[in-house]
Amino acid sequence: MFCVGLSFFSVAPIMPLILEEYSISRGTGSLLTSLVILVQAMFSLLGGLLAGLLRPRKVILFGCILISAPVLTFALGNFWLLLLSRVLMGLGFGILGPATIPILMQYFRPKELPLVNSLIMSISVLGITISSLSVAKISDSIGWEQALSVFGSAALLSAVLWLFFGHVEDITNTDITTNKKIRQAISVIRKKETVILSSADGGAFGQYVALVAWLPTFYFEFHGLSLIRAGVLVSLLPLVGCLSGFMAGILSMKYSARKPFLIASGAMVSLGGLGSFLTAGTPLVYPSLLLLGAGSWLYVPFLLTIPMELPGNDPARAAMMTGVIFAIGGLVGFASPLTVGILTDATGTYLPGFVTCSVLSLGLLLGGLLISEPSELSTNRQVNMSDQKQCT
């Protein structure tokens, strides 16, 4: 997951170099981020299904191999081949993310899961931070193609390490037929909690992707910042997110509530998102970016833990629900940077696209208000079962 973070947004700080290299529009350049997320979204649901049908060890190995595709960037020399390498990376992430859920549920106790989720998320965000801070500087030294290959090589190393040292028990149940598992997947998709969590994550993630993808270029083109300085400024988002995600894990060990953290994060991403571009060029942009970065990652460990805590969810169902959440969030993440790029090409300003994404971010706040606490659902289920027994 650290290697996913290294490569996922690595093209954003050097986007002007890529646009100039291939003489492409902003809308076309945005595919390097948005299409990756679309593929990740499409295959997250498949990854959730595969985690319940196949051996997780093989699924994760396949995902690790795919996320290392950017290692070939130095030898491509063509925009469409570059896009293909990143699409393969998105495919790997789509498969990899949900496949980790059964492993966590096997090896950690329920009360430890939020902390483990926050640690995994924080290390992934740390990868984003490192690439945001360093990719422009590395590109100045050895070229941007080689810089992207360096990050891809780290993912290739992770695949080798998993091949030799990765061990996990199978979660498949031979007594359950494939048709029944597919019916279970459909029931998971239709659950109210799945819809609410998917919408909440989609709104916040869509805004985050759009801003991370285009704020460096926005600061470079309209506020005169160098690519290195713009990249450092935007790197505040994952840097603060890494810290807030870790703090979320600690808080989750102390508090069993999930709703307050989703609601607080929703308010933070909405206010911080607006401030990140409306206050650009002023000192107020710094607290706005800090608020946006903290809110964009504070809720994630709690949101990812809810599918594991819902009554009746076994590891396979939790993986399927997580896959759906990733899929919906990925679809919105695909559309948001693409929308910003197209609207900017059409209007000559980034504001219409940025404002649209800020409106979407309200989904997290609404989702936090609508979702029920897993502990309350579990208590209600126990009460209902007790009433049924008494009636019997």
Q: What are the boundaries of each domain within the chain?
A: 2-167+178-381
CATH of domain 2-167+178-381: 1.20.1250.20
Instruction: Please say whether the beta carbons of 330 and 41 come within 8 A.
Output: yes
For the residues of 318-330, what is the DSSP string, one character each?
HHHHHHHHHHHHH
Whether the full predicted model's pTM is greater than 0.75, yes or no, is no
Q: What is the mean pLDDT of residues 364-389?
A: 65
- pLDDT above 80: residue 211: yes
Question: Using CA atoms, how far apart are residues 258 and 118, in angstroms rounded to an integer?
Answer: 13
Q: What are the helix and strand counts (H, E) for the chain?
A: 19, 0
Instruction: Please say whether the beta carbons of 324 and 194 come within 8 A.
Output: yes
CA-based end-to-end distance of the chain: 50
Q: What is the mean pLDDT of residues 307-314?
A: 73
pLDDT at 308: 78
Cβ neighbours of residue 385 under 8 Å, at least 6 residues apart? none
Q: Three-state SS for 158?
A: helix
Q: Which position has the higher pLDDT, 101 or 341?
A: 341
Question: Using CA atoms, how far apart are residues 315 and 356, in angstroms rounded to an integer?
Answer: 36
pLDDT at 52: 58
Question: Using CA atoms, how far apart are residues 356 and 360, in angstroms rounded to an integer?
Answer: 7
pLDDT at 169: 65
Task: Provide the CB-side half-sphere exposure for 148 (13 A, CA).
Answer: 27
pLDDT range class, residue 185, cuts 50, 70, 90: low
Residue-wise pLDDT for 81-117, tens only, equals 999 999 999 888 888 877 777 777 778 887 777 788 7
Residue-wise pLDDT for 266-297, tens only, equals 999 999 999 999 998 888 999 999 999 999 88
Burial class, 233, CB count within 10 angstroms (exposed 0-12 / middle 13-18 / buried 19+): buried
Residue-wise pLDDT for 245-261, tens only, equals 778 777 777 777 788 88
pLDDT at 112: 79
For the residues of 183-251, what is the DSSP string, one character each?
HHHHHHHH-HHHHHHHHHHHHHHHHHHHHHHHHHHHHHHHH---HHHHHHHHTHHHHHHHHHHHHHHHH
pLDDT at 80: 92
Minimum mean pLDDT among 30-39, 40-49, 60-69, 214-223: which range? 40-49
Q: Output Rg (C-alpha) for the chain, integer angstroms.
A: 21
Percent of the chain exceeding pLDDT 90 equals 19
pLDDT at 377: 53
- pLDDT above 60: residue 385: no
Cβ neighbours of residue 65 under 8 Å, at least 6 residues apart? 92, 159
pLDDT at 286: 92
Quote the tokens at residue 2: 């650290």
pLDDT at 382: 47
- pLDDT above 70: residue 235: yes
Q: What is the mean pLDDT of residues 188-193?
A: 76
Vertex 282 angle, CA 139 and 212, to 5° = 40
Q: What is the mean pLDDT of the chain?
A: 81
Minimum mean pLDDT among 121-130, 135-144, 312-321, 325-334: which range? 312-321
pLDDT at 173: 47
Q: What is the mean pLDDT of residues 307-315?
A: 73
Question: Using CA atoms, how far apart are residues 154 and 182, in angstroms rounded to an integer?
Answer: 35
Give the best-scoring range by mean pLDDT among 30-39, 53-62, 317-326: 30-39
Q: Which position has the higher pLDDT, 63 or 191?
A: 63
Q: Which position has the higher pLDDT, 191 or 209?
A: 209
Report phi then psi at 116, rounded to 5.
Answer: -65, -45
Q: What is the mean pLDDT of residues 376-388?
A: 49
Question: Using CA atoms, how far apart are residues 300 and 201, in angstroms rounded to an integer?
Answer: 8
- pLDDT above 60: residue 379: no
Token pair 């998917």 is found at 198
What is the separation of C-alpha 164 from the centre of its chain, rounded to a whole number of angstroms?
Answer: 27
Report phi then psi at 225, rounded to 5.
Answer: -80, 150
Question: Using CA atoms, how far apart are residues 38 and 126, in angstroms rounded to an integer?
Answer: 23
Q: What is the mean pLDDT of residues 43-65?
A: 73
Give the best-scoring range by mean pLDDT among 39-43, 249-253, 358-362: 358-362
